[in-house]
Amino acid sequence: MPASADLSVLLSQPALLKLLSELRGAASAAQPERELVGLLARLTGGGAEIRASWGAVVASAGEAAGCAQTFRLQQGRRHVGRLTLWVAPEWAALGPLAAEYALLSRLQSAAAGSARRRVGERTLSALLSGEAHLGDETFVVALADLGTGATGRGARAQAAQAYALDVLAEVGEGYLLGSGLNGLATVWQGRALWWWPSEHPVQEGASLFAALRESVGGVRLGVSERHRGEGLAAALDEARQALGAVGSSGVQVFQNLDPLTPLLRTEAAAQLRAQLRARLATLQDAGKVETTLRLYLTHTGPLTALAGAQHIHVNTLRYRLKRAEDALGASLTDPATLARLYLAFGVE
């Protein structure tokens, strides 16, 4: 169709059927987003662009000039991308129809990605069993889940969880591909997993997390150190440890992980923290002693400096620390007491 064609002409029955056929053909092509924006640009003489949910340009064609129409592409609650059209006013009515086919294109790509992730799962199994081998290139492994909330045990809840993890893996795969970090994406043992050749795991992990959070929301991500060759099992274990150190949402890279963090997040540490806070609460001082005690645990200089930081006299500081000792029934010079206090309050 010529670029100068008027939309009213296209809406005549024969031309409309041809238009719908071309849109459908583009959305079912091997590279549906690219085919669709090319068709829209040729058809209108303007420009078209499809972006992923994390903001990366998936495909674009034509000239991005003049007034823009933007359509959020969403399936249910899932944000899958955005279509932007730059067209003359007489083509504005085409926008909603184009957005429907843009959504179809994104879902078509997602289906193809799902098949790739099934291949990724088999590849990962082969690598871990020794049936396949990695080269000498440095790589990292990242694991992610959708937070620490409990999931249901019924078939429907299990299916929803599996779907959510596949979406998570898809978002990460799309981001890595768009960033030139070609690797492997799959769902592994109840978590989304990515492997990619890496030079800067801290920066790459932070960028991946930002993309995941933009598209999916509350997500936790753990990233391993860099490894080579046969280090896949070790990288998986490091990614698990890093993920375990994350709270309800966030990212942790193994090389930045405090070795005590997993210990501080245990149920036993939470119980100890509750016991100590209950004892300090008996002082009925609006939490002043507890606040001073927490600052004391992280302070390494003279008490006068700590008192100055709290804008109190050093004798007031000593008094509060003595009250803490009385409430706890232990001396702050006792290493065992300090260890218990750190285990209780260090994670906060």
Domain limits, the chain: 7-109, 133-257, 264-345
Instruction: Identify the DSSP state of 311.
Output: T
| pLDDT tens per residue, range 20-44 | 888 888 888 878 899 999 999 998 8
pLDDT of residue 17 exceeding 50: yes
**Residue 65: its pLDDT value, please?**
78
* Overall average pLDDT of the 148-153 stretch: 54
Which one is predicted more confidently, 288 or 79? 288
Q: How many CB atoms lie within 10 A of CB 323?
A: 17
**Residue 107: its pLDDT value, please?**
84
CATH superfamily of 133-257: Reverse transcriptase/Diguanylate cyclase domain (3.30.70.270)
pLDDT of residue 152 exceeding 60: no
**Residue 1: its pLDDT value, please?**
47
* Overall average pLDDT of the 182-211 stretch: 89
What is the share, in percent, of the chain residues with pLDDT greater than 70?
A: 87
**Residue 8: its pLDDT value, please?**
55
- Give me the helices (H) in the chain, please: 7-10, 13-27, 32-44, 95-129, 155-178, 201-216, 232-244, 261-264, 267-281, 288-298, 303-310, 314-328, 335-345
In the CATH hierarchy, which fold is given to the domain comprising 264-345?
Arc Repressor Mutant, subunit A (1.10.10)
Q: What are phi and psi of 75, to 5 degrees?
A: -115, 110
Which one is predicted more confidently, 68 or 263? 68
